[in-house]
Structure 1
Amino acid sequence: MATACAASTQQESLKMLIKRDFSTHYRTVKDLQIRKLIMQVQHQNKEQRVQVKTVGCKTQNPTIIILVVGATGSGKTTLINAMVNHIYNVGFNDDFRLILLDNEDAPKRSEADSQTDFITAYTFCHMPGMPFQYNYILIDTPGFGDTRGIERDQEMMIQLKAFFEQDNGIDQINGVGFVTPASASRLTHTQRYVYDGLCSMFGKDIKNKIHVMATFADASRPPVLDAITRAGLHFVKLHKFNNSALGICNENKGDGQDINADDDDDDDEDDNDSVSIQKLYWDIGHKNMKNFFNMTGCADPVSLTLTKQVLDERILLQITIGGLQDQIHIGLHKLDALTKERQMLARFGDDMKANEDHTVEVDVAYFVKHNLEKGKFVTNCSKCNFTCHYPCIYKDDKDKVRCYAMTNKYCRVCTGKCWWEVHNNTDFKIEWKTKKERRTLKEVQTRYNIAMQGIKDKENVVKSIEDEINQHVRRLISQIEEAQRCVERLEEIALKPNPLSTKEYIDLMIESEKIQKLPDYQRRVEMLQNLKQKVVLFQAVRKNYPSSSGETILEHFRNLSVD
């Protein structure tokens, strides 16, 4: 009895300490104080958008680390706020609530240093009165699948890899909290993309550490349980939460008097019913929160080594497929142009002098520059005029040696496989396109440095054309083999080896975007079309491809093109 009384006293003391010394008044909703938790920034890298924040002083107690992931709109922000209130024993009858994050006050997406775009480790150092005996770290990640599209999701993967490489002492985790709405009876194509994308970022050894955190739940069996089971997501346990009571003031405190009571008995009865329902939700959340903290507190930690390797291979595969896509595009147009030149030589080459002014129209590759958004970085090769990596986390040119496009200080993406120092961060990225251009027989000869001496020179020109095609394809084969190696390694170590959704899912996502027409949907459709090309290419490099000649290989990839 005395022990329970002492524990209760400690809990109340902790609650008052946090209210007085570790939080500040943020706003008032009716009679409920909303207080924002004060955290000290221990580490921050604005360029890579990662940070560590702390409440209290680190103790010698064990540390439990949980990574929280979820799609945009899944209720992740509110869930984290509910976890903070649980940690500091804030109860339903208290006149205040703690918040760590606030959707209503989130910075605009256009701000380069938007805090919602940071990966943040929140460290809650143990204090007497907490419901557990350890330090607790919650790693909050940006929402997956938001309106900025696939490009932002790919950037988050690089961001997560950068976070794990920080010198912050986080090299293992005890669990992954996978936040999802409880009401999803079946996965939409967009939700399936989110599930696949999140699962493909982890190593196989995380499989038994995943907890599904179902938000907006009631007392019944959540429909999402069947949906994620059908999707093949393995998890340890599903926890139900309904955090709607978090912002509700219990107006029937202590003496049972309603603070805002009036003379309408029916209204009083409705208010009492509402409070009872909110209390039920609060109790369900408290019970599941307690189970979640107990389960993760007893779980053995898993090293992040394998997950780091998965992220390495995924980023490398993403860069390789992106570069391969551009190189195939350039190669096909080069093949078309060279084929027309060869046909022109075959037709007029026996009398090259007489026909030197004959022209043929060909498609010629050229590049255009697209200005970047503020706060975005890129790795461009100044020698090849090629974007080797976008988005890149390294702003300074002196750091480009660490860019994921580099291997042993040489670029694996650009045409010349150039030395890292000729790569720069610029305010634009490069896109290769084609334009029509007329060429004369004389220009073809000059381009290959062939003197006009008859049939022998025609054969030399044809051979030079074929050599140019084969040289370009040899570079493609090198990238294909690199992509194949990544795929094989991911199949060995990744929780979900295939990092790209199927073409059918992407088609459905495109149709959904076109129907809904939400702001900036055209840009997202363009991204999805680009991803669809990558999916086809990814599936192609997993299989055998013809190896007889450069032309045969390029034609093979032309036939794989999608509309």
Structure 2
Amino acid sequence: MINYMLGVQRKDKVWFEITDDQSDRSSVHSQTSSITVYGFYPQESKTDLTIIDTPGYGDTRGVDLDKQIAESFLRLSESAEGIHEVHAVCLVINATQNRLSDRQIYIFDAVQSLFGRDIAENIALLFTHSDGFPPVNVLTAVKEAKVKCAVNDKNQPVFFLFNNRQSDAAYEEYETMQDQSWNLSFKGMEGFLKFLDNIKPKSMQMTRDVLQNRQQLEANISNLKERVKMIELKQKELKQTQEAMEKNKKYVEDNKNFEYEVEVPYKDWVDIDRSKASKAMCCRVCEENCHYPGCWKWTSLFNVFNRDASILLCEMIDFNDHCTVCTKKCHYSKHVKEAKIYVTKTKKEKRTYEDLKKKCEDKIGDGVSVVQKLKEELQELEKEKIKRVIEAFDCVETLQMIALNTVSLFILQHIDSLIEKLKEINEPEKAKTLEDIKKRAGEEKKKK
């Protein structure tokens, strides 16, 4: 791109390359360590060029690095000196391929899941290692993989051909072939830059919405899993109580005291596993992890006055200074951001029938049986469980409405447990929706 913009010709026998000056990094550059931003402003060209490179997607370092790339991209879009509109998203594919590998599909899905639906017409395919002939096989592979991109007036994917041999040493016996490679690549670049001239740039606003919704989704599902776990443990505790009463039915009928043992759930405040995160945002009232892992926003000076800025700047705090995740949606002042999280645990406790009866009477008054109260509490817990599972599913649906690609790692990390819970509450259609998303991500294929 840059050599084309500088007007480099083959006869010049010159080829420019980019070098990274580590001593002159901008603040945006330093904030986004998992992506690189190249700014190119040549006097020889009428066009300025900014390239955002996202290396490392889908490599052996796994999901955590992919999440860092998405978070860095969000930070870049939010920064005052960052990127606020995008002209094109380029997917680079070898023209000789007749199918896309699972890893490529995963990478393209991950890249596309960064953007809103409005970016689709700005996605261009760049085919490398081309011999200049129509790339029939790779186009078929792209269509089969359902890669979203711009289309021409014939409803075919917009693509450009390249053969990147420009910087190779010149050999007289291969001069004709090298000329062909050079001309092919520069023709492809000419077409691509015309595409950029004619396409309207897209604001990053919808993309920011997508990324923020993804973070909200991950936080909600993580929190939901803990809440559902607590609900199920409370249900288990009540069922153990019911069993104890059934076992001691004669004592109950005679209104006599007896002792029984149950497993009681509780929250423990423990240190974070530093390999997963450095801090978490937690509610001290609800005793819940509102954002863990993934809480990265840092303090800004304008938020310091009379406020705990490190809490306020968590992505889960809304414009009214309340948490969007914890059960009671508490004010940010009820939260802490520390290297600790809540973990649900259980302990065995011995109880008496007299204590249980008094507890029930305190809640509902005389005249209502303990058995009836236990049944009512179980029903309320089941309603709460259903509400929380549906709430998590609704987050996925919201993401589907605005995201170009809903297959994100954030969903896949939690999707199995959410499918299981939807089936438990008799929501087979919603469960199937998530199973289809999982299938789209290639998870089923990997298992076979």
Structure 1 residue aligned with 2:274: 372
Select which of 471, 487, 493 maps to 2:402. Answer: 493
Structure 1 residue aligned with 2:313: 402
Residues 400, 86 of structure 1: CA spacing in aligned structure 2 closer, same or farther, 3 A cutoff? Answer: farther
Within a 5 Å distance, the mapping from 1:194-209 to structure 2 comes to 194-209=107-122
Counterpart check, 1:99 vs 2:8 = no
Root mean square deviation of aligned Cα? 4.3
SS of residue in 2 equivalent to 1:358: strand
Structure 2 residue aligned with 1:264: none
Gaps of 5+ in 2: 23-29, 151-157, 300-307, 430-443
TM-score between both structures, scaled by the size of structure 2: 0.72
Within a 5 Å distance, the mapping from 1:160-559 to structure 2 comes to 160-168=73-81, 170-222=83-135, 223-236=137-150, 237-243=158-164, 245-246=166-167, 248-250=168-170, 272-273=173-174, 280-348=180-248, 351=251, 356-360=258-262, 362=263, 364=265, 367=268, 369-373=271-275, 376-389=278-291, 390-396=293-299, 398-407=309-318, 408-432=320-344, 434=345, 437-442=347-352, 445=355, 449=359, 459-460=369-370, 463=373, 466-467=376-377, 470=380, 473-474=383-384, 477=387, 480-481=390-391, 483-484=393-394, 486-496=395-405, 498-500=406-408, 530-533=413-416, 536=419, 544=427
Equivalenced residues, count: 400
Cα distance, 1:296 vs structure 2: 0.5
Alpha-carbon separation, structure 1, partners of 2:421 and 2:244:
36
One-letter code of the match for 1:422? K
One-letter code of the match for 2:331? W
2:40 touches 2:48 (CA, 8 Å); kept in 1?
Answer: yes
Cα distance, 1:333 vs structure 2: 2.4
Structure 2 residue aligned with 1:86: 4
Alpha-carbon separation, structure 2, partners of 1:143 and 1:381:
34
SS of residue in 1 equivalent to 2:106: helix
2:94 touches 2:127 (CA, 8 Å); kept in 1?
Answer: yes
TM-score between both structures, scaled by the size of structure 1: 0.59
Gaps of 5+ in 1: 1-82, 106-112, 257-271, 502-526, 547-561
Select which of 133, 136, 154 maps to 2:67. Answer: 154
Structure 1 residue aligned with 2:432: none
Cα distance, 1:88 vs structure 2: 3.0
1:384 touches 1:415 (CA, 8 Å); kept in 2?
Answer: yes
Residues 532, 160 of structure 1: CA spacing in aligned structure 2 closer, same or farther, 3 A cutoff? Answer: same
**Percent identity over the alignment?**
23
One-letter code of the match for 1:249? A
Higher strand share: 1
